């Protein structure tokens, strides 16, 4: 079975054409990116507002409750409601994107809200004491400090949407889900397993890229790396002083005690 999957993945026929693996991969990424961008436009400002003002925290709870909604059932309901209103491929695209947006709003909103709420109140007070407005406090204090949790929420959203975008194939859309749906229907389990493997690898690759971006844009002071480096440097200096003074970090004190 593994050999058949590898042969399927490396076959030129698998990658060629409008319905080939390359085209399906691009479609899957497009659906996922579109859903995350729309969800971020909604969830990031909302999370900043809730975290900054402390109002309407119930919105975060409500968004998290949406995680319990069955994705496939919601997809069929939205498709039956919105599908007949469109005559083009939008009849398949819009219901799928709506469902994916509902799916990825909770992790983004929770990450932004939790990051802003966790900002040290002393930092906010100091910023206001310097004469910053509320908007300036958000931009220059809260967002930089909340960035690790905000990016963690985005990473979680991408992982969920890439894994779940396969359900779009149930309503006639493309993407990697076609290999799973069509393969199960025709009994082609090699393409089914191959498609599932590609979805998993794609999710891991995207998460790796986002982890690298997070490492580059987040201040080392917020990750603890700066303090760790500083402690190591101080330890190295202490060890060097001790070795140059006969192995005792406090030679004067030792001499006084012995005398």
Per-residue pLDDT tens digits of the chain, which is 259 residues long: 788 888 888 888 888 888 888 899 999 999 999 999 999 999 999 999 998 888 888 999 998 888 888 888 888 888 888 877 777 777 778 888 888 999 899 999 999 999 998 888 888 888 888 888 888 888 888 888 888 889 999 999 999 899 888 888 887 778 888 888 888 888 888 888 988 899 999 999 999 999 998 888 887 766 655 444 455 554 544 545 455 555 444 444 444 444 4
pLDDT tens digits along 214-245: 888 887 766 655 444 455 554 544 545 455 55
> Which residue do the tokens 């059932």 mark?
73
Q: Please check whether residues 250 and 159 belong to one and the same domain.
A: no
pLDDT per residue as tens digits for the range 90-116: 777 888 888 899 989 999 999 999 999
If asked whether residues 74 and 193 sit together in one domain, one would say yes
143 and 241 within one domain = no
DSSP helix/strand/coil, 95: helix
**What total number of domains does the chain contain?**
2
Query: What's the rounded Cα separation, in Å, for the pair 147 and 252?
Result: 47
Which tokens belong to 228?
A: 């760790």
In this structure, the answer to whether residues 162 and 128 fall within a common structural domain is: yes
pLDDT number for residue 257:
44
Residue 188 CB partners (closer than 8 Å, separation 6+) = 182
Question: Are 211 and 140 contained in the same domain?
Answer: yes
Q: For residue 173, what is the DSSP state?
A: -
Place of tokens 């809730």: 50
Q: Cβ-count burial of 242 within 10 angstroms (0-12 exposed, 13-18 middle, 19+ buried)?
A: middle
| Per-residue pLDDT at 252 | 47
Do 98 and 174 share a domain, yes or no?
Answer: yes
The CATH number of residue 106's host domain is 1.10.3720.10
Tell me the residue range of the domain where 235 lies.
224-259
Using CA atoms, how far residue 155 sits from 45, 95, 105, 185, 191, in Å, is 18, 23, 12, 32, 28
Cα separations (Å) of 160 from 154, 156, 165, 202, 211?
Answer: 10, 6, 8, 12, 15
Q: Against a cut of 0.85, is the pTM above it?
A: no
* Rg, C-alpha atoms of the chain: 26
Do 203 and 235 belong to one domain?
no
Supply the DSSP symbol for 165: G
């Amino acid at each position: 079975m593994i050999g058949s999957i590898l042969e399927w993945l490396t076959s030129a026929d698998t990658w060629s054409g409008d319905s080939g693996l390359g085209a399906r991969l691009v479609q899957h990424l497009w659906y996922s990116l579109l859903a995350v961008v729309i969800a971020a436009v909604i969830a990031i400002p909302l999370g900043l507002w809730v975290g900054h003002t402390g109002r309407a925290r119930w919105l975060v709870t409500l968004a998290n409750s949406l995680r319990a909604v069955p994705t496939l059932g919601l997809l069929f309901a939205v498709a039956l409601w919105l599908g007949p209103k469109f005559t083009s491929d939008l009849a398949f695209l819009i219901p799928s994107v709506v469902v994916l947006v509902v799916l990825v709003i909770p992790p983004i909103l929770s990450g932004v809200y939790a990051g802003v709420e966790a900002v040290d109140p002393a930092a906010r007070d100091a910023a206001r004491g310097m004469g910053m407005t509320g908007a300036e406090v958000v931009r220059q204090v809260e967002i930089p400090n909340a960035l690790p949790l905000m990016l963690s929420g985005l990473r979680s959203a991408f992982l969920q949407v890439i894994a779940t975008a396969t359900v779009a194939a149930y309503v006639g859309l493309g993407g990697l889900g076609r290999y799973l749906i069509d393969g199960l229907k025709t009994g082609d389990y090699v393409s089914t397993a191959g498609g599932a493997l590609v979805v998993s690898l794609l999710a891991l690759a995207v998460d790796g890229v986002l982890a690298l971006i997070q490492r580059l844009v987040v201040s080392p002071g917020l990750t603890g790396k700066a303090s760790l480096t500083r402690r190591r440097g101080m330890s190295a200096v202490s060890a060097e002083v001790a070795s140059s003074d006969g192995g005792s970090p406090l030679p004067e004190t030792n001499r006084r005690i012995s005398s």
